[in-house]
Amino acid sequence: MGLVLATNPVYVNGQMASRKGEYFWRELSVNNATAPVWQQVTVTATGETPVTGNVFVPRTPELFSYDLDGNMTTDGRRNYTWDAENRLIRVQSRSDTPQASWRRVEWQYDALGRRIRQTTWMWNTSSGTWQVTEDLKFISDPLLFGRHIAELRVSDNALVRTYVWGLDLSETLEGVGGLLWVTLYTAFGSVVGTHFAAYDGNGNVVGLVSSTAGTETARYEYGPFGEPIRVSGLAATLNPFRFSTKRTCNTTDLVLYEYRAYSPCLGRWMSRDPVEETGGGNLYGFVFGNPLNNFDRLGLSAGKCREAIGKKGKPRIVFEYSPPKGGWRGKLGFGDVLGSAQAQMVHKIYIRWEAAVAVLCICPTGCEIRYGTRIQEDEEHGNWLVYDPTKLPQSPFPVPQSIWEIIGQLIADGILELLGPAPVPMDDNELERMKAAIMALLDRRPKCPWDGSWKGGKSPCDG
């Protein structure tokens, strides 16, 4: 998959590619039934210089293995090595893969668990030895965990890149995003210098702009789980901070969060969650499988909103409501009605309470006030003899036409509406018994904004 001018025909290994605007795509057939393949790919387009590269295709089926701590140790291409603290310290090509594809990357950490050095090797097929292609040491902010401010070449301490950070999505210095610009020192030509970073709504770097010329020097596009769809521009691969503003290793394609390594190709973490089930039941799952709406700040838990919890585990409702705004309102109903049209027996009286409330949500981008509905249901069981006054024969004596006439305005004030028709007690005895049942329900009515439960079982903070 790649992109070129929409008017230019594109061929991949001599086969015409499918087009969607400036994007092109072509599926190639390879035989990976018995061994992995290091497939050469040549892209040609009218008026453009041909581009040749290689794509690694693992043997099918691709198998994965893990150690006793749950760290991935092998996949179809590489071996992964971890230290006693379950930190990734080496990724190396498997010996049963084509030698031309062999790569190796190692990391070192300081006492605080911050990456302080990254060394990359490539296998030289002519000499049969590993050769260092890049050796960097990282300088981190002393206060902000894992936030790199400079990278130096180990051999001579020459500056390679420096970074300037500002406020992130949460308007702090410790969340997702915040990279203001990156300065490249050892690049060549027009990309030397400072480049401003551009973001999307999830804190992903989507572009770089030259600070001197004002021209676009890099553009990034991602799939739903952060897999790179587009990495174009002269400075695109020179800037390591891309998806979720975390460092991407160009050799392994892993996104290096502060506490874990993430594989966009797999859409999951390479190791178990350090906070265990506190971050969710799936210890390898990435932001609950919904990266379009969530993000992870450090590799510990998804950046979802949560309720601000007060005393005794109750949601912190920040707005009390007064009667003019509604308060708790009930809906009265009668159930399990048996009998003829005129004489009936009611076996259940129930009330459904509802209240519109506001709740304080703590989100990665700050605190928000959201609104929802709390509900509480209650019921009384018994046997009440009632009649439908509209179906009685005419009588010279007045008969009640509404339950409100009998029960009184005291109860009516607490009831918003009736659920279904309102039966009338047959006599004074039934009236008192029914009234007592309804008064018992009213006495148990919810009184606080946090009583009951969220309507639909979902908090507004989960939306």
As to burial, measured by CB atoms within 10 angstroms (0-12 exposed, 13-18 middle, 19+ buried), residue 26 is: middle
Contact yes or no for 455/375 (Cβ under 8 A):
yes
If asked whether residues 340 and 283 sit together in one domain, one would say: no
Among 61, 94, 113, the domain-final residue is 61
SS3 73: strand
Tokens of 34: 């018995």
Q: How far apart are CA 452 and CA 25, in angstroms?
A: 54
Of residues 276, 241, 218, the one with CA closest to residue 69: 276
Of residues 240, 292, 291, the one with CA closest to residue 269: 291
Instruction: Provide the domain limits for residue 15.
Output: 1-61
Contact yes or no for 245/170 (Cβ under 8 A):
no
Predicted pLDDT of residue 389: 56
Predicted pLDDT of residue 13: 94
Among 236, 259, 289, the domain-final residue is 289
Contact yes or no for 256/298 (Cβ under 8 A):
no
Return all residues near 429 (Cβ < 8 A) that are at least 6 apart: none
Of residues 356, 343, 350, the one with CA closest to residue 317: 356
If asked whether residues 156 and 276 sit together in one domain, one would say: yes
Inside any domain, residue 437? yes
If asked whether residues 57 and 71 sit together in one domain, one would say: no
Among 61, 85, 102, the domain-final residue is 61
If asked whether residues 454 and 391 sit together in one domain, one would say: yes
- 336-340 contacts at long range (C-beta below 8 A, 24 or more positions apart): 337/386, 337/423
Predicted pLDDT of residue 82: 98
Per-residue confidence in pLDDT tens, the chain, 463 aa:
677 777 888 999 999 999 888 888 899 999 999 999 999 999 999 888 899 999 999 999 999 999 999 999 999 999 999 999 999 999 999 999 999 999 999 999 999 899 999 999 999 999 999 999 999 999 998 877 778 999 999 999 999 999 999 887 666 676 677 888 899 998 777 789 999 999 988 889 999 999 999 999 999 999 999 999 999 999 999 999 999 999 999 999 999 999 899 999 999 999 998 878 866 788 999 987 878 777 777 777 666 677 877 766 778 777 654 443 567 888 888 887 666 555 678 888 888 888 888 888 877 666 778 888 899 999 999 888 877 655 544 444 444 445 555 555 445 555 556 676 666 777 777 778 888 888 888 888 888 888 889 988 888 887 6
Neighbours of 428 (CB within 10 A): 9
Inside any domain, residue 137? yes
If asked whether residues 327 and 439 sit together in one domain, one would say: yes
Residue type present at position 23: Y
SS3 396: coil
Q: Hey, what's the torsion of the CAs at 66, 68, 70, 73, to 10 degrees?
A: -30
Inside any domain, residue 304? no
Of residues 56, 58, 80, 59, the one with CA closest to residue 69: 80
Half-sphere exposure of 378 toward its Cβ, with a 13 Å CA cutoff? 17
Q: How far apart are CA 443 and CA 239, in angstroms?
A: 66
| Neighbouring-strand partners of residue 314 | none
Which residue's entry shows tokens 């992130």? 168
Contact yes or no for 187/238 (Cβ under 8 A):
yes
Domains in the chain, number: 3
Tokens of 99: 């030698």
- Please state whether beta strands 329-339 and 415-419 pair in parallel, antiparallel, or not at all (unpaired): parallel
Q: Which helix (H) or strand (E) holds 127?
A: none
If asked whether residues 8 and 36 sit together in one domain, one would say: yes
Inside any domain, residue 297? no
Inside any domain, residue 305? no
Q: Which helix (H) or strand (E) holds 438?
A: helix 428-443
- In 234-336, where does DSSP find H-type helix? none
Inside any domain, residue 306? no
Return all residues near 60 (Cβ < 8 A) that are at least 6 apart: 32, 33
If asked whether residues 56 and 87 sit together in one domain, one would say: no
SS3 424: strand
If asked whether residues 111 and 16 sit together in one domain, one would say: no
Inside any domain, residue 99? yes
If asked whether residues 211 and 232 sit together in one domain, one would say: yes
If asked whether residues 73 and 52 sit together in one domain, one would say: no
If asked whether residues 266 and 404 sit together in one domain, one would say: no
Q: How far apart are CA 56 and CA 35, in angstroms?
A: 11
Predicted pLDDT of residue 400: 47
Inside any domain, residue 17? yes
| Neighbouring-strand partners of residue 148 | 140
Residue type present at position 144: L
If asked whether residues 206 and 123 sit together in one domain, one would say: yes
